[in-house]
Chains A and B, each alone.
Chain A
Amino acid sequence: MPVAMHWIALQWPAEGEPAELHQARSWWALRFTPRVAWVGPALLLEVSGSMRLWGGRRALLERLLQTGPGAAPVQHAEGATSLVALARLRLRQQGRSPSEVAALAVANLPWRVLDAARPHAAVLQRLGLRNWGDLDALPRSALARRFGVGLLHALDVAFGRAPDRYRWQALPQRFRRTLQLPQRADSAPALLWTARRLLGLLQQWLVARQQGVLALELAWQFDQLRAGGRALPPWQATDVRTAQPVQAMVHLERLLAEQLARVQLLAPASSLRLRVLETAPWLPPTSSLLPEEASEGEPWHRFVERAHARLGAGCAVAPVLDAVYGPEARQHWVPALPALPQPAPVAQVDVDMLAPLWLLQAPERLRQQDGEPCFRGQRLRLLAGPDRMETGWWTSLQPKAHQPPAPVARDYFVAQCADGPLLWVYRERLTAAGQATAAAPRWFVQGVYA
């Protein structure tokens, strides 16, 4: 038994809508069913195959009317064949009420709402024919001879005796769209408005393909070939990357805005192109049953990516410990990763119990009065020490290629300023090599017991 088809026709207000909305709507409709076609200004969807998936006719219709890009559809109609749905849509446009239109049987639909019958309006009127049933009751051969095969075929399609043939909308494999800018953009932030329209289009494509975007490229074309006496490249581009695939465009939009704020346009741009570089299958976030597990804040990777996009990679850094002796060489900082590292089992850190929690950027030379170190004119009082550190004496045994940090020979002390705070200071020890050059031991402050 053949499955009864079910067609839905939608129409939007035509005036003043941006051009890409047409494309966005067909991609949006493709998430509900693969059978989507435009007939003039009306969008047709054949939903018999996916109606159950979306929770039945009523639920699907509600979703169609509420979730579309841009404004909501002004009119909608349903029917067993595409022409019936279209005919009812036209009746609705003529101001008939929904219940009246839905109650009208197929045979009672006026022929004025059938496209194929319109060229013959004068003849049909004179023949006294009023609706589809009257036309269908005429002898087929005579009808074909008089009005052409087109009307006969349209009647067959309308009554479900012949298949509906349309140019179905298809989803491109790759996303790559170009939009003209409404006016020449002189600065990168001026591109943002058009970029936002492209991102809205991208979102429809991603949802229909069940993908999330990882990386995309925004490029803009110049409307001149030379600037400042130099030839321009045809395109200038910026990349945006994120660690987790996303479908919602809020995060990408903010990343893009931060990046564009730092970009200098080589010349005024005339058009904008958005291209997807990398996607990954989309997994919707799992919601938790327990209320307290709901996270109250944004994910780590968004925070790091946004901070890096706005202030550069140096603004959020994470420590790395190095297996080297000597306080300066023991740690270095790298840009924080968008993926939060798993907490490693606490590594044994061999550190002096008296080492301070805070260091200066670089050891600072201390002045000396009568051979004693002074900090900002105040004599330091040594409280604990010396704590001897000598590193690097073994480096002469290693191959030269390893480039170890410079050897260190120091005596560390905890010293107190006259006004109270404690400092971590050291005295350079004279090694066999240094003895020849340095006359007196030098003092440095390296850390603060803050």
Chain B
Amino acid sequence: MPAHPVLSNVWRASELAPATSATVASGHALLDAELPAGGWPLAALIELLVADARAPWSSLLLPALVSHASRQGGVLALLDPPFVPHVPALVAAGLPVSRLLWLRGASAADASWLAGQAAGCADVAAVLAWLPRARTAHLRRLHVMARRRSRLLLFVFLDATGPAAAAPSCAPLRLALQCARESLHGNGAMPRLRVDILRRRGPPLEQPLWLPAHNAALQALLDSKADASAGSPGCAGANVLAFPQERGGNHAGGHALDRFAMAG
């Protein structure tokens, strides 16, 4: 049964919330189906709980960031990322170099101040903020700032083992990300990104979502590697693999150098 016919902003707890604000498609059909209104909500705080910074969260966010940045033309602000952004790779992935901003706060207080300032700037289209130890009050303030910016995509990374992860959240969406092996593929498959939707406007999701952990080229390589190691252990030696052409008309057709030899 659809949402309540009279009160459009009332929904049954067993259904996903109807669209109240604009969204950006995440680029992953599996995830979009489980998010209210079919994508990352704009003008809202999205909390991502990550225990290990090496978990492959980039591929989860990148499609939405690229499409949002190209449509809005705004700046993508990275606040205290755990690693240095590799700009040539980010540009190759589709983010314009003139629209990248790296924010660095010396302390947690500086970082949360910077996050608020970036979220309040009209020219910033998306903010990725690493505030592992952020307090609930800071997050609530950030959410209030985001509510005023109807075209802002705001992700905040929290430490999954920290106090903020245990505290009640004001964010309409809270996800936990980790790198894990999918149990359905019993053959020792390559790890994938396990996404648990901890909080959303809708019924709780009991099953985790399994998403590709890396971009298509790397994922294809890894999957074939896994198949090779699981299926035919006898095939030794270098295995040459043709890669999908991702980068447009760079080279006409395949090129011998666009193949990768896999270390046996």
Answer whether residue B140 sits at the interface, using C-beta atoms and an 8 A cutoff: no
Answer whether residue B31 sits at the interface, using C-beta atoms and an 8 A cutoff: no
Answer whether residue A315 sits at the interface, using C-beta atoms and an 8 A cutoff: yes
10 A-B pairs within 8 Å (CB atoms) are namely A298-B122, A299-B122, A310-B113, A336-B101, A355-B86, A358-B82, A359-B83, A361-B84, A384-B262, A421-B54
Q: Tell me whether B86 and A359 are in contact (CB under 8 A).
A: yes
Residues of B within 8 A of A385 (CB): 260-261, 263
CA distance A448 to B83 in the complex (A): 8
Closest to B54 in A: A421
Answer whether residue A340 sits at the interface, using C-beta atoms and an 8 A cutoff: yes
Partner of B262, one of A310, A340, A383: A383
Answer whether residue B58 sits at the interface, using C-beta atoms and an 8 A cutoff: yes
Residues of B within 8 A of A449 (CB): 54, 56, 58, 213-214, 218
Query: Which positions 153-194 of chain A face chain B at CB distance < 8 Å?
Result: none
Q: Tell me whether B100 and A450 are in contact (CB under 8 A).
A: no
Answer whether residue A54 sits at the interface, using C-beta atoms and an 8 A cutoff: no
CA distance A444 to B101 in the complex (A): 28
Answer whether residue B38 sits at the interface, using C-beta atoms and an 8 A cutoff: no
Residues of A within 8 A of B191 (CB): 420-421
Q: Which of A39-47, A63-71, A245-253, A316-324 contacts B (4 or more CB under 8 A)?
A: A316-324
Answer whether residue B9 sits at the interface, using C-beta atoms and an 8 A cutoff: no
Residues of B within 8 A of A360 (CB): 83-84
Residues of B within 8 A of A420 (CB): 179-181, 191
Query: How large, as a class, is the contact surface on chain B?
Result: 35 or more
CA distance A340 to B123 in the complex (A): 9
Query: Which positions 206-264 of chain B face chain A at CB distance < 8 Å?
Result: 213-214, 217-218, 221-222, 225, 243, 246-247, 250, 258, 260-263
Partner of B260, one of A300, A331, A384, A417: A384
Answer whether residue B75 sits at the interface, using C-beta atoms and an 8 A cutoff: yes
Answer whether residue B33 sits at the interface, using C-beta atoms and an 8 A cutoff: no
Query: Which positions 354-400 of chain A face chain B at CB distance < 8 Å?
Result: 354-361, 382-387
Question: What residues make up the interface of B, taking CB atoms closer than 8 Å to A?
Answer: 52-58, 62, 73, 75, 81-93, 96-106, 110, 113-114, 117-118, 120-124, 148-150, 179-181, 191, 213-214, 217-218, 221-222, 225, 243, 246-247, 250, 258, 260-263
Residues of A within 8 A of B90 (CB): 357
CB distance from B20 to the nearest CB of A (A): 17
Answer whether residue A414 sits at the interface, using C-beta atoms and an 8 A cutoff: yes
> Which 6 interchain pairs have the tightest Cβ spacing?
A297-B122, A358-B83, A421-B54, A303-B121, A420-B191, A300-B123
Closest to A341 in B: B98
Residues of A within 8 A of B181 (CB): 420
Q: A321-B88, A321-B97, A343-B98 are in contact. Are A450 and B57 (CB under 8 A)?
A: yes
Contact with B along A297-333 (1 / 0, CB 8 A): 1111011001100110011111101000001001101
Q: A311-B110, A358-B83 are in contact. Are A344 and B93 (CB under 8 A)?
A: no
Q: Tell me whether A344 and B83 are in contact (CB under 8 A).
A: no
Q: Tell me whether B88 and A307 are in contact (CB under 8 A).
A: no
Partner of B117, one of A307, A342, A387: A307
